[in-house]
Structure 1
Amino acid sequence: MAQLQATDLRGVARLATQATVSISRVAEGVHQSVLGTMGLQGGEKPGSTRGLTGLVYQSIRGVTRLVDAGLQAGLSRLEPFFATDEGDGTTAVRWERQAVIAALNGVMGDRLHHDGNPLCTHMGWYQRGLPLNTRALADTGSAPGKVLVLVHGLCMNDLQWRHDGHDHGEHLARELGYTPVYLRYNTGLHTSDNGAALSAALDALVAAWPVPVTEIAVVAHSMGGLVARSACHHAASAAAAGRAGKAEAANPVSAAAGTWLPLLRHLVFLGTPHHGAPLERAGQWVHVLLGSSAYSRPFARLARLRSAGITDLRYGHVLNADWEGRDRFRKEPDRRTPVPLPSRVACHAVAATLASRRSLAAETLVGDGLVPLNSALGVHDDPARTLVFARSRQAVFYGMGHLAMLGDAAVARQLVRWLAPPAPKT
């Protein structure tokens, strides 16, 4: 209980309500599957029963929703009487709570967002686990014009950039004089939605920075790389619309959108699934297999619980057009619109493989345990989809897993070499 905040109680109560409703639907679906084998008709909707049986299931869900409404109202009135201070961001209790919430948002963050659940994570800038305070940076004079943005991956948060006692943000601050700022966001939302929000957040960050920003570098891990690419696309599109005079005519505020992109000098991808991750495709097959039998079909609802962010990892979506108007749970071929790397930006790719250097076949098949090597390097069978990283801006690390690259000293040295300013000409 020491880890819970007042709003967590409302969030957990809402989840319990949704779980009860979902389980009742699964149970009703199994019930109707059995009745169907006897030739008995079901209700108006697929997987529903009729008559007294249908009334019982409807009553269960109706009473559950009434209980939820009462709990939400009662707990909301009690919240002001409980402390909401989350501490200094360094305690193990805070770290564990945030890790659980990050995982929950990764799995079902779109549902939390849609329901207004207090456990939903909202995008924001953080340092040392606390919201970024640009006024404090100005007062201490600790904000140079070099800004390092760190974007975490699926089911993670800003605190988890510290891995095995190492933080790439702190390391690059010491070595190269960057000020690191850490993005926290709901990884269960579509990557394109997060990309649009990140672009807007970067515009606001540049505007609020205590001194003129001279350089931005982005280091993104896993899904964070897709979000960063999407943000670049949104910024470039907004800038192009502004140049054409469309932004001013439609909305004067949007004319300033995308102003951060010309300041972006480096974009580093750490194990980003540019062309998808096999584990999401495995989840898709679970959905297909469960739906192949009348008895197991009701349980396919469970496979549909995975978030929009997770299903976007099937092929590596970065645009709204990649998913809009489509059933994201339906198995279909890759229909993404190719999106190249941003122009005039030094883009770097770090890929890892659990295999040894001598196992070429193994490194291709195994990857880092989550992301295949070619996907992390942007390589695709279709040349139009291949992301072109210069040879000098690719690094492959052997005997390393997906999370290990966050705390590896060799990866840290590579980041310093890439982001260091060029040596002056003599």
Structure 2
Amino acid sequence: MKKPRSTADLRGLARLATEATQNVTRIAEGVHQSVWSTLGMPGGEAPGTTRGITGLVYRSVLDITGAVGWGLDKAIGSLESTLQPLLEAIDEAGPESAQRAAMVAALNGVLGDHLQASGNTLQLFMTLRVEGETVISADVDGNIAVHDALAALPAVSGHLVLMLHGLCMNDLQWRSSKYPQGHADRLAAANGCTPVHIRYNSGRHISQNGRELANLLQAFVDAWPVPVESLSIIGHSMGGLLARSAFHYAAEANLEWLAHCKAFVSLGTPHHGSPLERAGNWVDVILGSTRHTAPFAKLGQLRSAGITDLRFGNIRDEDWQDRDRFERSGDRRMAMPLPGNITCYTIAASTAPQAHPISDRMLGDGLVPVASALGQHHEGERHLEFEPDKQFICYSCNHMQLLYHPKVTEKLLAWLAPLHAGGEASVE
């Protein structure tokens, strides 16, 4: 699908640059005041601000930056009718730029909650895509629209495979130059099922995206041109948590699409969190523990809600509501078992060439430990009951390679191909 360069991109980037400059200025003022405080000098009216001429300088920088940002936004808006044709003219013909899609996806993963709260034009809205075309979408208020592209699809199947990408990723990243055919492509070639891909703002809370996906899937199944016979969901990394969240909210709302879902496969999903986000939380605590480093804790707290959800694997509103997500705390999630009416599989990865207790526990795939990806937990109620023959560890494989690794493809074909051919899910 063609996605030309847009003045909306320019306005979104200008707003981000303005906000970044203002935030750095506030951090600098906080450091300045922390030094003055050690000398007994009083600060400004608000915590972390300076007073007198120094305070006036910082306020002036903030005000001028805000004025420049406002001016840029208005200037781009007033010139939109002139700029947009120029941007489209210099854009290459062909499908959407993978570079732009990757940049916007990364921004949404890191700052997606802020982009949404500030109404930034770079925020992503949840869409389901088939053959590169958006067929159904949700707007900022959760209103769902079915697009004309759905009816225009040349051939579709009643057997569907939904691919859910992870944090900072997008639907174009399930392939590589070495493996141009992705997992979904191979499944479609094997039995004629139709691949469906999601694109979403991965910086929002997982539970918010999960509820939206549950509703979007119901509208999607209702609008699909042929009766849906089976739906399999494959989630990479955060995508696996998104699927589990959608299962929960679909069951809560008695949504009919859940009855069509026959299989769920998680790939490198941090079912019980990622040590990297927990380390990030430690950084927040350490930086905030002294007067001089406290202003820099704001840098660590730029992490999106989606990222902080990965600390322990939050998938329900109750897991994060009424809590400071940057406060150091233990795992407060409500236990959430796997859905009982769906055949569930999981694949973990390890960068080690073979099984090793230390590398599996400490390294895993570089981001997610093997135990977390397999759903294992020392607390019985949190342990996810993936049956032994529905688990697989891919060695000499890192987190990102799970997106297209041939051993993963082979396992998916063995597990899911019989299901989409009209048989039952394999338990190989």
When normalised by structure 1's length, the TM-score is 0.90
* Equivalence for 1:106: 109
CA shift for structure 1 position 62: 2.0
Any idea what the Cα deviations from partners look like across 1:64-93, whole Å, max 9, x if unmatched? 2222222212212322331476877646xx
Q: Where in structure 2 are there 5+ consecutive unaligned residues?
A: 137-146
Q: Is structure 2 residue 294 aligned with structure 1 residue 294? A: no
Residues of 2 paired with 1:137 and 1:36: CA distance?
62
Contact kept, 8 Å, 1:135 with 1:210, in 2: the verdict is no
Any idea what the Cα deviations from partners look like across 1:285-338, whole Å, max 9, x if unmatched? 111221122111111110010111000000000011111111111110000001
* Equivalence for 1:390: 387
Q: CA RMSD in A?
A: 2.1
Summarize the Cα distance change of 1:302–1:136 in structure 2 as closer, same or farther, 3 Å threshold: closer
Secondary structure at the aligned position of 2:129 is classed as: strand
Any idea what the Cα deviations from partners look like across 1:320-361, whole Å, max 9, x if unmatched? 111111111111000000111112101110111112325233
Residues of 1 paired with 2:28 and 2:423: CA distance?
70
Pick from 180, 193, 209 the counterpart of residue 194 of structure 1. Answer: 209
Q: Is structure 2 residue 183 aligned with structure 1 residue 168? A: yes
Q: Where in structure 1 are there 5+ consecutive unaligned residues?
A: 240-257
Q: Is structure 2 residue 342 aligned with structure 1 residue 345? A: yes
Residue type of the partner of 1:21?
Answer: Q
Q: Is structure 2 residue 148 aligned with structure 1 residue 148? A: no
Residues of 1 paired with 2:221 and 2:81: CA distance?
34
Residues of 2 paired with 1:222 and 1:54: CA distance?
45
Summarize the Cα distance change of 1:80–1:168 in structure 2 as closer, same or farther, 3 Å threshold: farther
Residues of 2 paired with 1:380 and 1:358: CA distance?
19
User: Any residues of structure 2 matched to 1:35-74 within 5 Å, and which?
Assistant: 35-74=36-75
Pick from 77, 100, 112 the counterpart of residue 97 of structure 1. Answer: 100
Q: Is structure 2 residue 289 aligned with structure 1 residue 274? A: no
Summarize the Cα distance change of 1:269–1:87 in structure 2 as closer, same or farther, 3 Å threshold: farther
Residues of 2 paired with 1:126 and 1:186: CA distance?
15
Residues of 2 paired with 1:40 and 1:368: CA distance?
50
Contact kept, 8 Å, 2:133 with 2:149, in 1: the verdict is no
Pick from 373, 386, 394 the counterpart of residue 376 of structure 1. Answer: 373
* Equivalence for 1:5: 6
Summarize the Cα distance change of 1:334–1:136 in structure 2 as closer, same or farther, 3 Å threshold: closer
Residues of 2 paired with 1:382 and 1:70: CA distance?
55
Secondary structure at the aligned position of 1:119 is classed as: coil
Contact kept, 8 Å, 2:213 with 2:246, in 1: the verdict is yes
Any idea what the Cα deviations from partners look like across 1:195-234, whole Å, max 9, x if unmatched? 0111111011112111111111111100011111101100
* Equivalence for 1:253: none
CA shift for structure 1 position 130: 3.3
Residue type of the partner of 1:408?
Answer: H
Stretch moving more, 33-42 or 119-128:
119-128
Q: Is structure 2 residue 419 aligned with structure 1 residue 416? A: no
Any idea what the Cα deviations from partners look like across 1:347-401, whole Å, max 9, x if unmatched? 1101111123252332222111100000000000101001101111111111111
Contact kept, 8 Å, 1:88 with 1:129, in 2: the verdict is no
User: Any residues of structure 2 matched to 1:232-243 within 5 Å, and which?
Assistant: 232-239=247-254
CA shift for structure 1 position 51: 2.7
Residues of 1 paired with 2:236 and 2:93: CA distance?
25
Summarize the Cα distance change of 1:88–1:371 in structure 2 as closer, same or farther, 3 Å threshold: farther
When normalised by structure 2's length, the TM-score is 0.90
Q: Is structure 2 residue 160 aligned with structure 1 residue 157? A: no
CA shift for structure 1 position 147: 1.4
Residues of 2 paired with 1:424 and 1:341: CA distance?
22
Summarize the Cα distance change of 1:203–1:24 in structure 2 as closer, same or farther, 3 Å threshold: same
Residue type of the partner of 2:222?
Answer: A
Residues of 2 paired with 1:277 and 1:358: CA distance?
20
Summarize the Cα distance change of 1:88–1:172 in structure 2 as closer, same or farther, 3 Å threshold: farther
Contact kept, 8 Å, 2:264 with 2:343, in 1: the verdict is yes
Residues of 1 paired with 2:407 and 2:330: CA distance?
37
Residues of 1 paired with 2:151 and 2:239: CA distance?
28
Any idea what the Cα deviations from partners look like across 1:170-203, whole Å, max 9, x if unmatched? 1111112211111000111110111011111101
Pick from 353, 356, 359 the counterpart of residue 359 of structure 1. Answer: 356
CA shift for structure 1 position 4: 4.1
Residues of 1 paired with 2:256 and 2:39: CA distance?
65
Residue type of the partner of 1:219?
Answer: I
Contact kept, 8 Å, 1:368 with 1:402, in 2: the verdict is yes
Contact kept, 8 Å, 1:89 with 1:129, in 2: the verdict is no
* Equivalence for 1:322: 319
Residues of 1 paired with 2:42 and 2:368: CA distance?
46
Pick from 172, 194, 207 the counterpart of residue 179 of structure 1. Answer: 194
Summarize the Cα distance change of 1:89–1:306 in structure 2 as closer, same or farther, 3 Å threshold: farther
Summarize the Cα distance change of 1:404–1:77 in structure 2 as closer, same or farther, 3 Å threshold: same
Q: What is the identity percentage for the equivalent residue pairs of Structure 1 and Structure 2?
A: 47
Contact kept, 8 Å, 2:360 with 2:371, in 1: the verdict is no
Contact kept, 8 Å, 1:30 with 1:298, in 2: the verdict is yes
